[in-house]
Each structure stands twice: as C-alpha cells, then as structure tokens.
Amino acid sequence: MKKIRNSLILLIIILLLPTVIYALFFDKEKSNNNTFSAATLDIEFKTTQSTEYTLEPKDSKWVVDINLTNLGTIKNTNAITFHLKEESWTLANNILLIIEENSDTTFPTDPNEYTPSMNMIYTGALSSLSTTGIELDVGETKLLRFTFQFNPNIEDKTSLYAKSISFKIVSLATQIAVSYPSGFYDFEKITFKISTPSPAIDPQEPTAVSFLEKEEAPIPEIQPVIEQPTQKESNITPLENINEETL
C-alpha cells in the first residue's frame, strides 16, 4: 500500500514538473496598438522663379532664391555641387556664384543688401561649386540665395557674348557622420540655363566725302535759242504791190 502511494506521488510530480518549469522560465504578455516604421531621409530643393536667364556680361546679376527642406524623419547634412549638362566651360569658368543662407523668413529685396542673419556659404567660379555641411533638422527649411554674375576682374569680355550654358545644381543629403553611398541618402536637382546676348554693334559715323571725291554730275548742253524777229505791221506797201494807182 505504501509503495502504491509513493508511486502516485511520484507520478503527480512528474506530471506537474513541466508546467512549473514553463511557468518559471516563460511568460506571455500582449501589447496593443504598437506600430513599427523605418526612418526616412527625404529633402526638397526647389525654387518658384524662372530657371532660364539672359545674363549681360558687363554689370548684370541674376538672383535666384531656393528652399532646401528636410521632409524626412531624421536629421541630415547636405552637399551642393555643380554638374555641367552642355559643355560651355567658357561661361562656367567666368561666371561668379555667391550662395548665402538666410535664417530669416525672407531675403532683402535688393540683391546688394546684406544683413547679419545672412551666412555666406560659397563664393567662387560656377564651375568649381562644391560645398558641404548644410545640416537640416527634421522639418527645417533653409533659404538659400544664389547670385550669378560675371567675374568683374575680366577685362576683355568679348568672348563671352552669344553663348549659352545648361547645368544642374544638385543637393545631396546624407545621414550625419555617414558617408555617401552608405546609409540613407537622397538628392534633388534644379536645371538652369544661362545665355548671353549678341554683342551690341556701335552705329558707324557717316564719313565725310570731300568735294573732289564726289562725282560731278554732267552739265547739260544748252542750245542757244535764236529769236526770230516778229514782223510788225507797217503802212509801207511792199514794192511788188505798188502800182500806178498807188503812185
């Protein structure tokens, strides 16, 4: 009888042991309304102004305001570079580009007006444009002003007329402290076209022609006009008409 009881107790222990072990080492909980999403890196690089312009090589400037916005969910850093679309290095090397960042909501109306809130990002030849380190927080927008003008130090600008150049300005956004192409990245571009007018032709002054160089017009020959004497009425009777009665 005692053996039977011990056997029953052992059987019960064997049956209950897995349940006890599972309860000790395993637990199951339920969590509701959980969502998982991947981080995104997305930028917007755009302007509302025309991207084509005729630039006078003498003194004119072309000003374009561009918005650079972080539309993603992580902070990023941007690099802005120049990419030639149609070969015209003559213009690309001689166009001076100035890029400024304004922390205010708008730029001054006068392109020559500078304020303390404007940060110089780049100054140099258009063909050499390559700048980095423009950081954007999530949802942040930076206002960038691009000013195009010909280098004022060029003395002879005759070779700059009647030309055109098409090029792209590209903004490449990457993760902070991560080099492209590793990690997340995005790039946007704007295509520009700059043309120069034909050179103005100065009107030529009329040349003075001396009297001797002028071709003299022939003098028309004037025929002398001989007036025939008119016969006046006379009381003298012609001799042939004289007869004896007249005498």
Alpha carbon of 74 to those of 38, 78, 142, 176: distances in Å? 10, 13, 16, 9
In single-letter form, the type of residue at position 19 comes to T
Q: What is the pLDDT of residues 147-191, one digit of tens each?
A: 999 988 888 888 899 999 999 999 999 999 998 989 999 999 999
Check pLDDT > 70 for residue 132.
Answer: yes
For the ranges 91-100, 187-196, 236-245, the lowest mean pLDDT is seen at: 236-245
For the ranges 55-59, 153-157, 202-206, the lowest mean pLDDT is seen at: 202-206
Rounded CA-CA distance 219/36 in Å is 109
pTM: 0.66
Rounded CA-CA distance 137/131 in Å is 18
The reply to whether omega before 111 is within 30° of 0 (cis) is no
pLDDT at 152: 86
pLDDT at 202: 59
Give the helix, strand, coil percentages of the chain, each rounded to 5.
15, 35, 50
The closest alpha carbon to 100, from 49, 145, 46, 149, belongs to 145
| Residue that wins the pLDDT comparison between 48 and 37 | 48
The closest alpha carbon to 131, from 202, 78, 179, belongs to 78
Angle at 66 between CA 171 and CA 45, to 5 degrees: 40
Q: Which fold has domain 43-192?
A: Immunoglobulin-like (2.60.40)
pLDDT at 234: 44
For the chain, domain boundaries: 43-192
| Residue that wins the pLDDT comparison between 159 and 6 | 159
Residue 84 in tokens: 């030639």
Listing DSSP states for 114-128 in one string gives --TTEEEEEEEEGGG
